[in-house]
Amino acid sequence: MMPKRPFTLIYAPLVQEHLRAIDPKYYSLIRGEIEAQLLFEPGVESRNRKPLKRPIASDATWEIRFGPDNRFRVFYRVERKKYRVNILAIGEKKGNRLLVGGKEIEL
């Protein structure tokens, strides 16, 4: 049996700005969770990985939720034929608000 081919993770330039709005102590958690969930099966639905009902955040079609109280959200798009995952936005859920780069976005 051949090992699965990993996807290439491509971060949009705006993601750096989104991360600046998040406490740096969470950076390693965010990076680790992105790699754990998106390298091999980014287009497979799971408990905390779901397709979006409508695209948001620069045409993202999927999201993952993780962290304390599932407070972090990563929005991405999968290019299956090219084995690429485009990370388009990273946000933090505070109460019923989702903040991406410190700005509230509607879900």
pLDDT tens-digit series, residues 10-21 = 999 999 999 999
| Domain positions in the chain | 8-105
Give pLDDT, residue 24. 96
Q: Are 63 and 75 in contact (CB under 8 A)?
A: yes
C-alpha atoms less than 13 angstroms from C-alpha of 90 in its C-beta half-sphere: 26
pLDDT tens-digit series, residues 49-74 = 999 988 776 789 999 999 999 999 99
pLDDT tens-digit series, residues 78-103 = 999 999 999 999 999 998 999 999 89
Look up the CATH architecture of domain 8-105: 2-Layer Sandwich (3.30)
Task: List the structure tokens of 47.
Answer: 């408990």
Give pLDDT, residue 41. 92
